[in-house]
Amino acid sequence: MDGQIRYSDLGFTLVEVLFSLLLTGILLVVSLQLFLDQWGTSRVCKDKMEAHYAAVTAGRLVSDAIREAESVQWANKNGKWTLTVNPSREADSDHYYLEDKNNDGVKDFYRVHKGIDNPVVSGIVDWNCDQGESGLWTISFQGQIRKQNVFWQGKIRVRDTVN
């Protein structure tokens, strides 16, 4: 037995090694494809949630401003639509508008309070305010992050100034 080499002492054959590498490669390709699919799905979900957050945040801010206002005016000033709100018990009016001031290709929604421009949210591509009967305003915002579009609409009434 001293001069004989047993089959188990020889190790793996070339075919066995190549077959195990092939199986490992197939498993790696399948798992990588599953990972990339999940990553793409999560990115779409994240973009949609960011667009939704932008539209809802802007909508709630404008709704609250209109609800608390003594007067509201929607007008086209210098080529951009601006909402002017005169808050109760304040001398200065607030202005809301949409513009790309930092030139990154994404419009930001701004609130001008006491003469200072404050960006509120990014990703708003369009907005509209319509005054209906008896102080009822319809506000709509469209948010977009990459290819994900979200539309938000709300109705709000200007507070009753008769007390």
- Would you say residue 8 lies in a domain? no
Residue 47: partners with Cβ closer than 8 Å, 6 or more residues away = 145, 146, 147, 148
Summarised one tens digit per residue, pLDDT across range 85-110 is 887 777 788 999 999 988 888 889 99
Residue 114: is its pLDDT beyond 90? Answer: no
In a domain, 21, yes or no: no
User: Is residue 15 predicted with pLDDT exceeding 60?
Assistant: yes
Please report the DSSP string for 109-139 in residue order.
Answer: EEEEETTEEEEEEE-EEEEEEEE-GGGEEEE
Range of the domain at 73: 37-157
> What does the pLDDT read at residue 163?
44
Q: What does the pLDDT average to over 102-121?
A: 90
pLDDT at position 78 = 79
Instruction: Evaluate if residue 162 carries a pLDDT over 60.
Output: no
Q: What pLDDT does residue 152 have?
A: 95
pLDDT of residue 1: 52
In the numeric block, which tokens belong to residue 152?
């938000």
- Decide if 30 is inside a domain: no
pLDDT reported for residue 8: 60
Q: Is 76 domain-assigned?
A: yes
Task: Please report whether residue 28 resides in a domain.
Answer: no
In a domain, 73, yes or no: yes
| 11 pLDDT tier (thresholds 50, 70, 90) | confident
Residue 77 domain-assigned (yes or no):
yes
Question: Of 28-42, 49-63, 95-109, where does mean pLDDT reach its minimum?
Answer: 95-109
- Nearest alpha-carbon partner for 71 in 131, 19, 124, 117: 131
* pLDDT value at 129 more than 50: yes
For residue 120, is it within any domain? yes
**What percent of the chain is predicted at pLDDT more than 70?**
91
Q: Kindly state the tokens that stand for 44.
A: 């779409």
Domain count, the chain: 1
